[in-house]
Amino acid sequence: MAEQVRIIVCGFGRVGRSFARLLEAKAETLARDYGLEIQLHGVGELEGSVISPKGLAPAALADYFETHGGLGGHPEGGRPEWKGIDLIREAGAGLLVETTPTDIRTGEPALTHIRTALGRGMHVVSANKGPFIRHYRTLQAFARDNGAALRLSAAAAAALPTLDVAQTCLAGAEILAIEGVLNGTSNYILTEMRKSGRSYGEALSEAQRLGIAETDPTLDVEGHDTANKLALIANVCMGADLLPEQVGRTGISGLTAEEVHAAGEEGRIFRLVGRAERGPDGAVRARVAPMGLPRDHPLAAVDGAEKGITYTTDTMGRVTVVGGKSDPKGAAAALLKDILNIHRAPGAARSGRYS
């Protein structure tokens, strides 16, 4: 018989609802291959929440939200006055899925949600960058003290495995530098400009239609999203203390189709690259900028909305991972992956050189 895991979700935006749909679509696989039944006991939103001790039908709940624009009036356990924090305190769940909108500066409300859940011994998987850029190590220590696991793949390039590779596959090696194509929207735009001759504006509109771009796409094209992800990954994997505002940043909005095309003619491919490197003084410095990469560079092969990351290590050489969907489904799949990995290796979920 499958083990039951009671979960709650805070934040029912595109990623939260994609996660709910994925949970339902994968229910059979989870029971058969992982011996796990993930029961959705509640969803918290700013404008009201829903809770049901019997468990909620995840996809129907996503449909309900899309029809009604909220959850507080749900016939089966709607709580118009409840926010996510009430749900964390009252639902008696074993795991929190945190997908509220990211506030990079304060980390809130996710930071309070995560601290509250961990303090109650709940495991947490999060798609939120804000809390971890500034507080990753203290939150990991807090999780450990409370016997809980904390995983954040969905916040760190989501479907592209970044933290898992560094913490598990490169364990024992020192990461000397990280180079990444970490923003699907920018990469999609640059690829479309080069391959189909589309203008910057046309390619951006298409990225928005595909649901890849942020609500405010300047976060993508001006390099903020790349800087946030780079700071987060460097802090987790290199023991750095970078803040996004310390990452030098140039976006892609100044690149013309002619420049992108001309680079292609010379055998170079423009990518928006984030690079973090440990200097001789031991400090990690980082910057984000468009770079014309030679065709044989591993990140030159990262086309369309895919992403890629290259770790340069002391003992394992250069290791590159490429791929991963940039859309909400990819982020939802990263949340599910973290839940499964907590379930089957709770010790591994909490160990790490910089945690």
The answer to whether residue 326 forms part of the interface with ligand HSE (CB under 6 A) is: yes
Nearer to ligand HSE, 140 or 183 (CB): 183
Runs of H (alpha helix) within the chain: 14-25, 27-34, 58-68, 84-90, 110-119, 130-145, 163-164, 184-195, 200-209, 218-221, 224-238, 257-265, 328-344, 346-350
Q: Is 184 in the site for ligand HSE (CB under 6 A)?
A: yes
Nearest to 127 by CA among 109, 102, 160: 102
**Bridge pairing between strands 95-98 and 3-10:** parallel
| Least distance from ligand HSE to the Cβ atom of residue 287, Å | 18
From the list 22, 178, 212, 242, which residue makes contact with ligand HSE (rule: CB under 6 A)?
212
Q: Is 225 a residue that touches ligand HSE (CB under 6 A)?
A: yes
State the nearest-atom distance from the C-beta of 62 to ligand HSE, in Å.
19
Work out whether 8 is an interface residue with ligand HSE (CB under 6 A).
no
| Residue 341 Cα to chain centre, angstroms | 16
Residue 126 binds to ligand HSE (criterion: CB under 6 A)? no
How many residues in the shown chain lie near ligand HSE by CB under 6 A? 9
Please tell me the distance from the alpha carbon of residue 179 to that of residue 164, in angstroms, as a whole number.
16
CB 276 within 8 Å of CB 242 = yes
CA distance 92 to 122: 9
Choose between 81 and 216: whose C-beta lies nearer to ligand HSE.
216
Q: How far does CA 291 lie from the centroid of its chain?
A: 24
Residues forming the active site: 229
Would you count residue 310 as binding ligand HSE (CB under 6 A)?
no
Contacting residues for 64 by C-beta, under 8 A, at least 6 apart: 71, 74
Of 11 and 94, nearer to ligand HSE (C-beta) is 11
Min dist CB 71 to ligand HSE, Å, is 24
- Give yes or no for residue 49 binding ligand HSE (CB under 6 A): no
Closer CB to ligand HSE, residue 80 or residue 323? 323
User: Among residues 51 and 155, whose Cβ is nearest to ligand HSE?
Assistant: 155
What b/e sequence results for 308-328 when a residue is b if at least 16 CB atoms lie within 10 Å of its CB, and e otherwise? bbbbbbeeeeebbbbebbbbb
Scanning 26-34, 137-145, 209-217, 269-277 for contacts with ligand HSE by CB under 6 A, the matching segment is: 209-217
Q: Is 154 in the site for ligand HSE (CB under 6 A)?
A: no
The phi, psi pair for 292, rounded to 5°, reads -85, 100
Residue with Cβ nearer ligand HSE (185 or 310): 185
Q: Looking at 142-150, 180-188, 253-261, 274-282, which segment touches ligand HSE (CB under 6 A)?
A: 180-188
Examine residue 235 and tell whether it contacts ligand HSE (CB under 6 A). Answer: no
Query: Interhelix angle for 200-209 vs 184-195, to 10°?
Result: 130
Q: According to the binding rule CB under 6 A, does residue 180 interact with ligand HSE? A: no
Residue 214 within binding range of ligand HSE, rule CB under 6 A: yes
Range in contact with ligand HSE (rule: CB under 6 A) among 30-38, 79-87, 88-96, 212-220:
212-220
* Radius of gyration, CA atoms only, the chain: 20
Q: Render 274-331 in DSSP notation, one character per residue.
A: EEEEE-TTS-EEEEEEEEEEETTSGGGG--TT-EEEEEEESSS-EEEEEE---SHHHH
Sheet (strand 175-181) strand order: 248-249, 284-294, 268-278, 175-181, 307-313, 318-323
How near is the Cβ of 40 to ligand HSE at its closest, in Å? 23
Q: Decide whether 6 or 220 has the Cβ nearer to ligand HSE.
A: 220
**Which residues sit at the interface with ligand HSE, rule CB under 6 A?**
183-185, 212-214, 220, 225, 326
